Structure 1
Amino acid sequence: MVKANDVAAYILHRRGPMTAMKLQKLVYYSQAWHLVWEERPLFDEPIQAWANGPVVPELYARHRGKFRLNAEDALGGDRTVLDEAERGSVEAVLDAYADRSAHWLSELTHRETPWREARSRARLGDGERGSAVIEHAAMHEYYDGLTGADADAEDV
């Protein structure tokens, strides 16, 4: 299985420089949608519901202190290890979300159930630091539900 930093390396290679916050959100959405489309995790590292949205702590440790990242940053990832299905999931996420700002993506995650429920379970208030894990099952259920809503709307 690939690592979150492999996914990050792939994203940076495909889309170029971006803020660390935006990269974290794109890695999160890659995991979430891969869970829906392939019914398996893209990577094993946990995602936590931090104050500014979902964060992979292991990836954060690699870019800590850097605001803007590019493909040459030493995140320790190998973009070439993603298989066809993994690349397909990440590409679909990039098509849908990559043109959005880091702030927009962060605000979106704050409106979505997986981040909100993880924070609520841990009794974390607005802006409060915490390490509540966003569970794979919560991501799968929520984002899979979005595809059902889209499918129902198309049938009308």
Structure 2
Amino acid sequence: MTNVRDIANWFLSHDSMTHKKVQKLCYYAQAWYCALYDGSPLFSDEIQARVHGPIIPSIYPVYAGYKWSTNPKADFDASALDEKLTDVLDAVYNTYGELSGDQLESLTHSEDP
């Protein structure tokens, strides 16, 4: 199982983004991975439903310090991540990466859990 901070840093290695966007991309990575691999979770951290959509409390304090400004782009070495995982992360980023945190929040609110 993968560390959720590695997932967040993988996304941040592609672009700087708000903590809301980091949270939503990690949520979608978990959802896609579970859907593609027979319910196997990508990470074991809890996901909670909150007013602004799903969050992972274990990484909230790490990235929320920037409030609504952007977290800086991360210097992350993805070589330890396997190809199956990076394929999912690439697909999630290519699908949702251009959306803002607010747009992702709206999207999560429009979908069934």
- Aligned residue in 2 for 1:81: 80
* Structure 2: runs of 5 or more not aligned: none
RMSD: 1.7
Instruction: Give the greater-gyration-radius structure (CA).
Output: 1
Structure 1 residues 12, 25: CA separation in 2 closer, same or farther (over 3 Å shift)?
same
2: CA distance between counterparts of 1:78 and 1:41? 22
1: CA distance between counterparts of 2:12 and 2:59? 13
Aligned positions of 1:100-139 closer than 5 A: 100-114=99-113
Asked whether the 8 Å contact 1:16–1:71 carries over to 2, the reply is yes
2: CA distance between counterparts of 1:80 and 1:70? 21
TM-score (norm 1): 0.65
Instruction: Give the secondary-structure state (helix, strand or coil) at the position aligned to 1:42.
Output: coil
- Aligned residue in 2 for 1:44: 44
Instruction: Give the superposition deviation at 1:46.
Output: 0.9
Instruction: Give the superposition deviation at 1:53.
Output: 0.5
Identity %: 37
Q: Specify the code of the residue in structure 2 equivalent to 1:51.
A: V
TM-score (norm 2): 0.88
Instruction: Give the superposition deviation at 1:78.
Output: 6.4
Structure 1 residues 78, 41: CA separation in 2 closer, same or farther (over 3 Å shift)?
farther
